[in-house]
Amino acid sequence: METIFRIFLIIHITGGAVGLLTGILNMIAKKGDSRHKIVGKIFFFSMLTAGLSSLVLSTINPSLFLFMVGIFTVYMVATGYSYLHLKMLNINQKPKIIDWILTIVMMLAAFLFIGIGIMSLLKSNLFGLVFITFGTIGLLFVRHDFKNYSGKSHLLNYWLSEHLQRMIGAFIASTTAFLVVNAKYLPESIPNFVYWLLPTLIFTPLIIKWANKYEVKK
């Protein structure tokens, strides 16, 4: 079992490293050209690999940290990619079964995270803020899914807005995991939960900026 754990750990680290690199490249590069699409596909597969391997690792060696990062990453990157093929939901297109599965799993996981967060805060553990934050963000995107899947989005290019937000969300999850794992090399005076929330605080304004820049309302 230890050998299997090490194999998946190597897969996880490799996928996360490639995801971080390609994510940075696509955020600073021009959007929509051929290079963006090629790098984007590499980002998608590497982040999906990192997310799925997190779930395997959290099963072999139980860890809420890996489980939460895995669920969040897989949901964000998978739905972010899927929305590129769901451009006609406002007309007559219907989401696939896998789209609904991803949304329902994220919704259930989000309620679980929020519940764990509340219980942690009641025990004076500020790390509960991390679970509540990730759970709340997950529910917000799930709400978007239900609205988009029913064709009730107020945007004409809802698919582009969702694609941008979720891919950056996956990048946030990867960056968060990187900071948390390497927190032992950073100043000990900084509480651990700060490293969990820092990427979200930094990149959320970027999500809002790009969403406002590219969205086209009905």
**Tell me, what's the pLDDT at 27?**
80
Neighbours of 138 (CB within 10 A): 25
**Tell me, what's the pLDDT at 65?**
80
Question: Per-residue pLDDT for the chain (218 aa), expressed as one digit of tens each?
Answer: 788 989 998 999 899 889 989 988 888 877 777 888 899 999 999 999 999 999 999 999 888 888 988 999 999 999 999 999 999 998 889 999 999 999 999 999 999 999 999 999 999 888 788 899 889 999 999 999 999 999 988 888 899 989 988 998 888 888 887 777 766 666 666 766 677 777 878 888 877 777 777 666 76
Rg, C-alpha atoms of the chain? 17
User: How many Å apart are CA 164 and CA 208, to the nearest integer?
Assistant: 10
Exposure string over 95-116, b if 16+ CB within 10 A, otherwise e: beeebeebbeebbebbebbbeb
Contact 136, 110 (CB under 8 A): yes
End-to-end CA distance of the chain: 54
**Tell me, what's the pLDDT at 52?**
95
How crowded is the C-beta side of 152, counted as CA atoms within 13 Å?
6
**Tell me, what's the pLDDT at 186?**
63
**Tell me, what's the pLDDT at 194?**
74
User: How many Å apart are CA 134 and CA 145, to the nearest integer?
Assistant: 17
User: How many Å apart are CA 194 and CA 183, to the nearest integer?
Assistant: 10
Conformation bin of residue 48: beta by default, left when phi > 0, alpha when psi is -120 to 50: alpha
